[in-house]
Structures are given as structure tokens and as C-alpha cells.
Structure 1
Amino acid sequence: YQELNVDLEALQELLDHVREDGYDSRRNAVIQGISGISLPILEGDGTCRAAVTVAKPTDELSDREAGQIVEKIRSYIEFLS
């Protein structure tokens, strides 16, 4: 996390956001020009053991498409669980 310049407080805020919204979507967070959308795969007890992430060039990812990707991944996760 030091390489990403993320401190413990920032990480806690990010995790709170993921718990509230059910996903994380960030633009240019790790690699300039690349955006990522991640959804946790939750166990029966609510713990997260893995996540599904889609990365795409930021210039080619509209907010509308990002929302569609979130819904597609969410439906795949529900189907498989």
C-alpha cells in the first residue's frame, strides 16, 4: 500500500465504501490511463475471500458502461453462488 500511497485511514474509508455500495470503481488509481471495477465475492458469513475485477482504459469507460459492468458482474456472482 505504500507504493500506492494509501495509508490505513484511506484504506478503511475505501473498505467502508465497498461495504456500503457493494463494489469499488476507481479511475487511474494504480496505473495512469487504466480504470478498475471490483466486486467482492462474499462467503456465507459475509467475509470476503476474493474479488472479481475488470480493468479497462479510462478513455474507453463511460460512467454508464461502468454501471453496466457492475450489474453484469453482480449478476454473475449471484448466479454462481
Structure 2
Amino acid sequence: MSTDLTSHQRELLSRVLQHGGVLASPFGHAGEDSLLPQVLDDIDDLEAKGLITVTRFQDSHDPQRIELTATGYTALGIE
């Protein structure tokens, strides 16, 4: 499978993988992370590509839980 991912997107997928394929509450204090806007864009892009599923907090667009899909595992070279 050929998936065009940035190094940051691969890093995010790898981080989810390191947590058993599910990353809950990915940001402790989101407002203090200067890279947060880019990370949120990466999450949206990875979700659009079908590599992750995202559960969001009810009162905001912020991700509460990120889970690798089968396609996400394949993109990381894990069959």
C-alpha cells in the first residue's frame, strides 16, 4: 500500500501504536502545546485517509481518543 504521509503523521501513528493501537486523551494541556494546530491538522488528515478513527469530546472538536484502523497498521508496515 502506498500512503503519502509526512514524518509527523508517521510519528503520530507510531505513538498510537506504542499505546496498543489506542491513544486516549492525547493531549494533557492542549492549550500549552505550540505544535497543537499542526497535530490537529495531521489527525484530521489521517482520519480522512482512514488510517485512524477519532472520538472527540462532546463540547469541542478536540480528540479524546485516537485508534489505529487496519489501514493504519498497514501504513506502518504491520500486516
- TM-score between both structures, scaled by the size of structure 2: 0.31
Higher RCO, 1 vs 2 (CA within 8 Å, ≥6 residues apart): 2
Larger radius of gyration: 1
Task: Say which structure is richer in strand.
Answer: 1
- TM-score between both structures, scaled by the size of structure 1: 0.30
